[in-house]
Amino acid sequence: MDRILPETARARLARLWQRAQDEMERIEFASPGWMPEPQRRDGRPVADVIIVGAGMSGLAIAFGLRRRGIGNVRVIDRAPAGQEGPWITCARMKTLRSPKTRTGPDLGVPSLTPQAWFVARYGEAAWESCERMSRADWMAYLTWFRDTVGIAVESETELTDLAPAGSGLVALDLKTSEGTERAHARRVVLATGMDGAGGPRVPGLFAALPKHFWTHSAETCDDSHLRGKRVAVIGSATSAFDWADAALDQGAASVTLLSRGHAFPRHEILLFTHFPGYLGHFQALPDAERWRFNRLSQTFKVPPTQDQYDRAVADPRFAMVFDAPVTGCRVEGDAVRLDTPKGTLLADHLLLGTGYVEADLRLRPELGRIAETCTLWRDRYSPPPEDADAGLGRFPYLSEDFAFVPRGAGAEWLRRVHLFTYGAAPSVGPVSNGITGMKYGVPRMVEALVAAFFREDAAFHARRMAAYDAPRFDPHLETLSGTVREALT
């Protein structure tokens, strides 16, 4: 990418790189290594931490661990290099939804912030006029950040299974472009994104249709097939409007959005939660209070951004119908007939903005053993009848260090697996599911790992202390007079 940048931008980015190195050195960013020599299993070194997912959270956690002197870390991602996360794959919004001033994985180093990168790339005037960063720029920033701080990512490496390995280790079965591997780690962090504890939500009546008639917003695909088509968008939240705008941009003949609700949501609840008490200490609340806050937050649906909405409604090809849940659908020739209380609609293609099943570990094959043995919220807390919520009850009940909690005996290894995805939110707050809470969640995750390793290795460090022999004072005995030398020795 650098080769196609204007010379001035390349020069500014080079200066920013140097400034970032200087800032990290000035604040003693990287602690000296203090961990024991890596164990070996099957002739291979055991990682202290394997981070699954090299998106913004995975990169930030790896960076934070290095800051604390833990360098025996592997970061893996199933995507090709430069395509980690949703930003240039399945995401279809033009800009991020977070305000441009939110910080990312920089952990407080000014020259590593998104703003510093954007200004170096485009200039101060562009930053002042920008309301939100584009998703392509955010991906470019994350790539620059990874390269600047030197985080190695093992791309096209997919986790297929997690299992106990004895001796305080977790076994990971990995599928790579070269075959398979069984790796071992003392701790595993799952930083696998929005659907990391569940999967795309595809209502049954749509799933029953031939696949070529529908596409879910979680899918990566070429949207050019929508040109000239009559398109129906199912849903009315932000992902549905992403779809509507994408279809209009691709030249759809018409785009009709069908909403179950009778009005648009108006409020973004994440903006309310962005204060130190909520993001910093949610995990310390009693179960009943956490359940109450989660129930309240679910009453606030995610609205479209103003830009998404304005772009869609300004186009004469766009229409929306409220109070129109799809009650039936069937194929008629080369189209799909949709039945709603407001009438029927013929569509050539359906775009599903139906979101995600946020918590159902059974949908993740690599988490099969965990799904069978971990504690869920429904196992731990029984709300009063008026606050019952089956969906919330399916979320994993995590400890304060984001770790799974065993359900019954024989699964203590789960405490070595940490969930840093949206699935952690009911237990620890919205600090692991996006940009908003990163500066709270990432340091907490890192410090929890540091504390765990120190506890486990206390005997090792006690031996190091007992053998400590690094003189910091020299009385120069060889030059002293006899009387003084005798007194000192």
pTM over 0.85: yes
Q: Which residue has the higher pLDDT, 394 or 484?
A: 394
pLDDT, average across residues 408-435: 94
Phi, psi of 327 (to 5 degrees): -100, -15
Question: What confidence tens digit (pLDDT) does each residue in 129-170 have?
Answer: 998 899 999 999 999 999 999 999 999 999 999 999 999 999
pLDDT, average across residues 171-179: 95
Question: What confidence tens digit (pLDDT) does each residue in 313-350 have?
Answer: 999 999 999 999 999 999 999 999 999 999 999 999 99
The architecture in CATH of the region 202-265+301-354 reads 3-Layer(bba) Sandwich (3.50)
Q: Hey, what amino acid is at 437?
A: G
Query: Which residues, 6 or more positions from 42, have their beta carbon under 8 angstroms from its beta carbon?
Result: 182, 184
Question: What confidence tens digit (pLDDT) does each residue in 46-86 have?
Answer: 999 999 999 999 999 999 999 999 999 999 999 999 999 88
Place of tokens 């609340």: 285
Instruction: For residue 40, name the pLDDT band (cuts at 50, 70, 90).
Output: very high
How, if at all, do strands 349-352 and 214-216 pair?
parallel
Structure tokens at 86: 């949703």
Query: Which residues, 6 or more positions from 414, have their beta carbon under 8 angstroms from its beta carbon?
Result: 370, 373, 374, 403, 404, 405, 406
Residue 10, pLDDT above cutoff 60: yes
Question: What confidence tens digit (pLDDT) does each residue in 114-133 have?
Answer: 999 999 999 999 999 998 89
Percent of the chain with pLDDT strictly greater than 90: 73
CATH class of the domain comprising 2-197+358-458: alpha beta
Residue 233, pLDDT above cutoff 90: yes
Strands (E), 333-427: 335-340, 343-347, 349-352, 356-357, 417-419
Q: What is d(CA 152, CA 137) in angstroms, rounded to the nearest whole number? A: 21
If DSSP codes are grouped into helix, strand and coil, which group holds residue 57?
helix
Residue 482, pLDDT above cutoff 80: no
pLDDT, average across residues 20-48: 92
Task: Say if residues 425 and 392 touch (Cβ distance below 8 Å).
Answer: no
Domain parsing of the chain, residue ranges: 2-197+358-458, 202-265+301-354
If DSSP codes are grouped into helix, strand and coil, which group holds residue 80?
coil
Instruction: For residue 281, name the pLDDT band (cuts at 50, 70, 90).
Output: very high
Residue 1, pLDDT above cutoff 60: no
Q: Mean pLDDT score of the chain, rounded to an integer?
A: 92
Q: What is d(CA 365, CA 161) in angstroms, rounded to the nearest whole number? A: 7
Cα 419–Cα 421–Cα 426 angle in degrees, nearest 5: 85
Cα 137–Cα 139–Cα 141 angle in degrees, nearest 5: 70
Return the bridge partners of 183, or none. Answer: 172
Query: Which residues, 6 or more positions from 240, have their beta carbon under 8 angstroms from its beta carbon?
Result: 217, 233, 234, 257, 259, 304, 351, 353
Query: Which sign does the torsion angle of CA 156, 157, 161, 162 carry?
Result: negative
Q: What is d(CA 35, CA 44) in angstroms, rounded to the nearest whole number? A: 17
Instruction: For residue 300, name the pLDDT band (cuts at 50, 70, 90).
Output: confident
Return the bridge partners of 230, or none. Answer: 254
Q: Hey, what amino acid is at 74?
A: R
- DSSP structure class, residue 195: T
> Which pLDDT score is estimated for 4?
58
> Which pLDDT score is estimated for 304?
83
Instruction: For residue 488, name the pLDDT band (cuts at 50, 70, 90).
Output: low
Residue 298, pLDDT above cutoff 90: no
Place of tokens 């799974």: 404
Q: Return the H-helix or E-strand segment holding 244.
A: helix 238-249
> Which pLDDT score is estimated for 36?
96
Question: What confidence tens digit (pLDDT) does each residue in 446-478 have?
Answer: 999 999 999 999 999 999 999 999 888 887 877
